[in-house]
Structure 1
Amino acid sequence: MADLRTGTAMVVSLLIKPARVLAVIALFLLAACGAPRPDPPVSDQREIAAIAEGILALGPGIDPEEAEAAARIALLYPRQLAREWNVTDSALVHNTKVNLGLRPRGLCFQWADDLETRLRQEGFETIEMHRAIANHDVSYRIEHSTVIVSAPGGTISEGMVLDPWRYGGLLFWDETLDDERYRWVERSEVFAWKRARGLPEVETGS
């Protein structure tokens, strides 16, 4: 009889919290199919130099010292956030943990918010920062947010993607038009698109 009562209690508990059960199942499924985090670069300094060179190539007038500082922050600061947020899985698995309350932060727009804030603390005068969103109009894909840098007056299409979410704190960077995974749109344009459809003007990357 005790075993029967215990089994009944377990069934009732599962029925009371179906959403949490489904979320846990999704977590295990994502763990099986999520893209693995790549190994860190062999030489951080070489990586910083390469990012800085890419920033300098975005247009004339960019200060080499600002390019180097932006590159260093973009590469190293997300790693600090990954430690603080205890990121140990692929991006989608970590998202699930955040949504379950198992991790404090780590959704794509949170990575972008914190990286943008840190970069703006430098007061760059020759590097312009943008916020961009992808997949806002694709129902079967998760909306994604990132930081893009450009030369002053440049557009996001003329800039460089700095995406710390994609590999869980290990920076993805490339020219915007060379990013094969995402089609980036200026955040203000996405918000205007949402406003015209009566949708909240917020980033919803999960």
Structure 2
Amino acid sequence: MFALWGTSFATASEQPQKSAKRTDSSRGEFSGSFQVPRGDLAKAEALANQLAALSPRVDRNEAKLLADCAYATVSQLRRQYGMFGTPIFNNFLIYHGLKKRGYCYQWSEDLMIALDALRLSSLDLRWGESNPGNWRENNCLVVTAKEQPFRSGIMLDCWRHLGQLYFGPVASSWEPYVENSAFARDVRHIAAARNVSEHNHRVAFHSRTDASGKTRD
């Protein structure tokens, strides 16, 4: 029965739509296109608008590229993770070994790795966390204009909304988020080594693992 929970079917609104692509091999930039679900096209455009508004120096094409990649990636992860019920219930399934991934930090890890591959020059990706070190901890990504303060950015949160991407000013969040640049470096180091953690961690429904394999809860 549990195997059925890992299976998902694309609805009409989730059917992929082609998006823009950018190629510049001389700058080492990402080359490819993203399949944004039809139902997310307007949301992706709204996210791109918010990102472009962060600073006059933000490249509008990069803002759109990041937004399209984020929605395409989250759609793919939603199917891979097989989200079911509530976020806490999914943590319960992972904790008991019935699912492999889907903790909040894993959503943020996988999304960060996908967005990092874009090699954007006018936007920075930062790791945000609220209530660090206790059972209420949540992790997200925060996108800022290049070299601008963390609190000026736009948060990207997937876990709390069961795999539906939420975005908005991090400064307006009902929970205070702080930056954890050390953990962001850990994620990038693991990704560069092609060794992203896939194992489960026996903690109370919510944990995070750093590059050394030590569990933080």
Distance 2:215 2:150 in 1: 18
* Corresponding residue number in structure 2 for 1:149: 143
1:16 match: none
Tell me which structure has the larger Cα radius of gyration. 1
Structure 1 residues 88-107: Cα deviation after superposition (integer angstroms, max 9, x where no partner):
22211111111111111000
Deviation of the 1:190 alpha carbon: 8.8
Deviations 1:48-73 (A, max 9, x none): 11000000111121111110111112
CA RMSD of aligned residues (A): 2.6
Q: Structure 1 CA distance, aligned partners of 2:172 and 2:216?
A: 24
In 1: Cα distance, 2:176 partner to 2:57 partner: 27
Q: Does 1:63 align with 2:63?
A: no
Partner residue, 2:50: 54
Deviation track 1:93-144 (CA, whole Å, cap 9, x = no partner) reads 111111111111000110000000000111111110100111016x5x4211
Identify, as 1 or 2, the structure richer in helix.
Answer: 1
1:187 equivalent among 176, 180, 197:
180
Report what 1:162 is aligned to.
Answer: 156
Q: Judge conservation of contact 2:70–2:111 (CA < 8 Å) in 1.
A: yes
The total of aligned residue pairs comes to 156
Residue 176 of structure 1, aligned match among 170, 173, 181: 170
TM-score, normalization by structure 2 = 0.65
Structure number with greater CO (CA < 8 Å, separation at least 6) is 1
Residue 74 of structure 1 corresponds to 70
Structure 1 pair 82/204, CA: closer, same or farther in 2 (3 Å)? Answer: farther
Q: Give the SS at the match of 1:133.
A: strand
Query: 2:87 aligns to what?
Result: 91
* Aligned-pair identity (%): 26
TM-score by length of 1: 0.68
Structure 2 gaps, min length 5: 1-12, 15-36, 185-208
SS of residue in 2 equivalent to 1:150: strand
| Residue type of the alignment partner of 1:154 | Q
